[in-house]
Amino acid sequence: MRYRPIFMEHVVIIGNGISGVTAARHIRKQSNCRISIISSETEHFFSRTALMYLYMGHMKFEHTKPYEDFFWKKNKLDLIHAHVSKLDPAAKLVHFQNGGSLGYDKLILAVGSKPNKFGWPGQDLQGVQGLYSYQDLQSLEQYAPNNRLCKRAVIVGGGLIGIELAEMLSTRDIPVTFLVREPSFWGNVLPASDSALLNKHIASHHIDLRLSSNLKEILSDGAGKVRGVIIHETGEEIPCNFVGLTAGVSPNIDFLKDSGIALGKGILVNRYLETNVQDIYAIGDCAEQKEPIGLRRAVEAVWYTGRMMGETVAQTICGKRTAYRPGNWFNSAKFFDIEYQTYGWVFSGKNKNDMEQHFHWEHEDGTKCITVAYQKDSRIFLGINTFGIRLRHEVVDRWLNEQQTVDFVITNLMKANFDPEWYRKFEISIQSTFQKSTKQLIS
Amino acid sequence: MSTASKDMTLTGQPPASLNRSQKYATGIAIFGLAILLLATFNISFPHKGFWLSTSLISLVLGVILFSKGAYRNTSEGIKNDGVWFKSISNRGFWAWVTGLSLTGFYTILYFYPQYLGLRKGTENTGLIALFDPLSKLLSGNSASQWFVYGTLYTVAILAFGIKFIWKYRHNRYEKIRTISVLFFQTAFAFLIPEFMARLNSDHFQLPYYDLKSVWPLNYYLFQEYHVSTFVSAGTIGVVLLVFGILSILVITPILTYKFGKRWYCSWVCGCGALAETVGDPFRQLSDKRMVAWKVERWVVHSVLVFVVVMTTAVVATYLENNSTKYWLTKDVFLIMVGSFLTLLLIAIWVFRRKELKKDARYGAVGYLVIILFLLAIHYFSGTTLFLFKAETLRTTYGFLIGSIFSGVIGTGFYPIFGSRVWCRFGCPMAAILGLQQRLLSKFRITTNGGQCISCGNCSTYCEMGIDVRAYAQKGENIVRASCVGCGICSAVCPRGVLKLENGPLDKRIDSKEILLGNDVDLMRYLNNQ
């Protein structure tokens, strides 16, 4: 028996995603306090990023659970499968939708996001949805189970979830029309040449990619179901049985409106992830930083940042007040067959300032490329995007901390390679392209 | 929303799992299989050589055309769409049909070879007779049930090896590894022993010896009749016998130190070759639960102890029966074995005790006590060998482990338990290599900083049932005794998190509380660096 004090602090966590669960695990490692995790989505924690693999038949739901079901009891983490409808910070209570309430000493809000809807006509029809939650996946199964019931799907919004949804639907042979607002896929984030490589790859997977296209209206079949969409630019009507809304996500904070917690786009927190209300913290997708951290956005709906906030807030809860200070930015994704990794900052043409210079290398097969960003005068390395080539996080992170130059990075690129053994190496080709481009600049 | 469905089943409705060319391909393969079945039911084919070739070619062609139908029009990349929707790969109807057929085949093969047409003294009939022309071509002898099995085994590995290469054509590690297992199976396991048999004559006899099949996987290597034939074959025989001993005592430890057990299990071994090719569609069926891991460790190491005791007993009996021939007497041999095992365990205890979990310590000490106790009984009593007769031990091992475990269950139940059940729970060779891989090897699967998203593809597709994700999401390298280094976890990872590597021993196992990417001070504070 572990020592348990008579008065045990009760930490309540709303949300059993990566942020909430990471916080719970780290609190448990350092404390014997009572911990409750509330979620209405699923009984047990699962990996949201793996939802696509369920629809594609790569995995079953049980495979997406990072911890076996015995884990929670063994670590004395109480799971409550219920929906929180209201907070009462004055009484330190959370109220459940189906009645009942739960008291807390400290409360962590890790309530995640919901898909954006921009007021399009017809956006609440049946067969129109985002892809975020387990329930979204169930509804996708209902409206797009196969290409007999779903003759065509339209996806609105060219980001990471949009392209995942396109890949998912294409594995069931459902034709997909993909509406992207920018002139190139994910063009507000990626440099033009990286984005161009993806445009080609998307098309090679038989996706009807419509660039510079906005949604005007979603049409109803008269019985409350979607029957098509109209494109804003051309007025073209595209018949479809399913519409995926993947134009980003925003914090899921509607239930907090009258709680007294300060809200912006998300739940406003200081560097210690504390809200304006004593003993209430917010982490993950739903948290909005009051003061920006480096070049990061105030709201970051990314798996890794959620996890890092969970790691950090646990220290504060356990008595070691710790500021959230994420290190170098990193992220990754997979676009159909092409893996993507990014470290540091590589901005798109639209977002980058004049001092940021890019070096781009591309393989002739059109499935591999890299873009290195560096400062024009000092030549200090700012960040790197790779497509189809894996990099070693530790090495690139160290180079960023050491403020190495772009020349150093390209010369030592082999040390950062993380591709499987025996894979073909492209560093020599990259280095010779780099030397040529440097000479051109000098001459 | 407390009404959320608690039923986690999703009704995946994938496109038809077989396209037209795959249906034709299945038909061709069934035709090839039908010839073998008809032969089994004693339909006598007039031109046996022709019909055997037709059958084998149809089988290979069927599999190749099937793969073509599956992968030709697809882009290079991971091909796991619909794996859990298909009956064959999700323990459905076809999985059970296949499993029961294979189990039936193994039962007949091991215990009732007469139904396949094996005849002693007279001409073979049935299926085995169909294989006579090929056997005579290779070794000059009539076929046996083992020749039939060996041929079908090799043909299956070749055909499904081509399918595997097609499926993973974007991955050079998988391609080269598969070519390696195809080579070792065809050359070492199939052709060379047949050619060696050609050298035999009335006054010169070599035992059947697959050079890459190392003791204890090759548990009959040191049996009396085997050793006698080696010795009577003169210099060549002794060289082969010495090679067999060096294989396990010298070659294996060196290679495992440098490359991990994968050099054997997924690059050379015949059982591994079948699991990685024919078994590939079933790799996701392995049991990943913690309890399976616990069972695995006790079972596989018990088999290892069993084979050590059994072999020691067999060799001791041999030495006793031939006490005048060799300088090595039974007593000296037993003392050598006892000292070797004791020294080995003391070395592990001194240098690696901290890495052993509590139950591993109990197990190690317990097993050593049992082995030494058995050796002592024998040493002092002199007449009975251990508690049982050596021959009883040998036949029991051969029946339980050699036939039932590795064949009937290990391979027959591929579609139910996954492809590496034998390798994981039963193979004593894997147990030895695994102990070394865990304690003294440069091999590990490196986790890439903080990039893991806990999606679970790696764990799902691990044929050894390792919960790879549990390590990756902690930023910890994967150093597990059972890992055979097939490389599929790294291939299916959508975020480039895993890499199989041989590197320095220092910091090979590096558990982290806080992953790379967060506050540097916090990482240092909590990771005790």
Note the ipTM here: 0.94
The predicted structure's pLDDT at residue B198:
83
Give the distance from residue A331's alpha carbon to the nearest chain B alpha carbon, in angstroms. Answer: 7
Tell me which architecture the domain covering A128-247 has in CATH.
Answer: 3-Layer(bba) Sandwich (3.50)
The predicted structure's pLDDT at residue B381:
67
Give the distance from residue A378's alpha carbon to the nearest chain B alpha carbon, in angstroms. Answer: 25
Task: Give percent above pLDDT 90 in chain A.
Answer: 95
Question: Which segments of A101-146 are extended strands (E)?
Answer: 101-103, 106-109, 113-115, 128-129
Residue B517: which of A41, A65, A327 has the nearest Cβ?
A: A327
Dist CA B467 CA B469 (whole Å): 5
The predicted structure's pLDDT at residue B187:
93
For residues A40 and A16, the answer to whether their CB atoms sit within 8 Å is no
Domain A330-442 class in CATH:
alpha beta
One fold for both A128-247 and A330-442? yes
Token pair listed for B80: 């796991």
- Say whether B81 and A307 touch across the interface (CB within 8 A): no
**Predicted confidence (pLDDT) per residue in A104-118, tens digit:** 999 999 999 999 999
Max intra-chain CA distance, chain A? 77
A to B CB pairs, distance under 8 Å: 209
Residue of A nearest to B74 (CA): A205
**Does the pLDDT at position A5 exceed 70?**
no
Helices (H), B170-325: 172-183, 192-198, 224-232, 234-246, 252-259, 262-265, 270-277, 290-321
- For the domain A10-114+250-317, what is the CATH code? 3.50.50.60
Residue range(s) of every CATH 3.30.70.20 domain in chain B: 440-526
Dist CA B253 CA B260 (whole Å): 9
Q: What is the DSSP string of A211-280?
A: TT--EEEEEE-SSSBEEEEEETTT--EEE-SEEEE-S-EEE--GGGTTSS--BSSSEEE-TTSB-SSTTE
CA B101 to chain centre: 21
Query: What dihedral angle (degrees, nearest 10) is formed by the CA atoms of A387, A391, A397, A403?
Result: -70
Q: What is the mean pLDDT of residues A94-103?
A: 95
Strands A381-387 and A338-344: antiparallel
Q: What is the DSSP string of B476-516?
A: --B--TT-----HHHHH-TT--EEEEE--STTSS---SS-T
For residues B334 and B375, the answer to whether their CB atoms sit within 8 Å is yes
Token pair listed for A93: 């209570």
For residues A26 and A315, the answer to whether their CB atoms sit within 8 Å is yes
Burial class (CB in 10 A: 0-12, 13-18, 19+), A342: buried
The predicted structure's pLDDT at residue B16:
65
Task: Give percent above pLDDT 70 in chain A.
Answer: 98
Token pair listed for B171: 């991955």
**Does the pLDDT at position A41 exceed 90?**
yes
CA distances from B6 to A278, B94, B220 (A): 35, 29, 53
**Does the pLDDT at position A436 exceed 50?**
yes
**Predicted confidence (pLDDT) per residue in A196-213, tens digit:** 999 999 999 999 999 999
Range scoring the smallest mean pLDDT among A19-28, A300-309, B223-232, B286-295? B223-232
Q: Name the DSSP letter for residue A420.
A: P
Stronger pLDDT, A442 or B385, i.e. the higher one: A442
Place of tokens 């139950």: B359
Residue ranges for chain B with pLDDT beneath 50? 1-10
The predicted structure's pLDDT at residue A17:
97
Stronger pLDDT, A438 or A43, i.e. the higher one: A43
For residues A166 and A196, the answer to whether their CB atoms sit within 8 Å is no
Sign of the C-alpha dihedral computed for residues B113, B115, B117 and B120 taken in this order: positive
The predicted structure's pLDDT at residue B382:
61
Dist CA B85 CA A164 (whole Å): 19
The predicted structure's pLDDT at residue A81:
97
- B496 contact partners, CB below 8 Å, separation of at least 6: A332, A339, A341, A390, A391, A418, B448, B451
- Say whether A47 and B456 touch across the interface (CB within 8 A): yes
Return the domain boundaries, chain A.
10-114+250-317, 128-247, 330-442
The predicted structure's pLDDT at residue B323:
78
The predicted structure's pLDDT at residue B234:
81
Q: What is the DSSP string of B161-198?
A: HHHHHHHTTT-HHHHHHHHHHHHIIIIIIIIHHHHHHH
CA distances from B91 to B63, B86, B272, B282, B414 (A): 21, 9, 22, 9, 10
**Predicted confidence (pLDDT) per residue in A249-261, tens digit:** 999 999 999 999 9
- Say whether A57 and B75 touch across the interface (CB within 8 A): no
Residue A60: which of B84, B173, B514 has the nearest Cβ?
A: B84
The predicted structure's pLDDT at residue B3:
34
The yes/no answer on whether domain B440-526 falls in CATH 3.30.70.20 is: yes
Please state, rounded to an integer, the average pLDDT across all residues of chain A.
95
The predicted structure's pLDDT at residue B5:
37
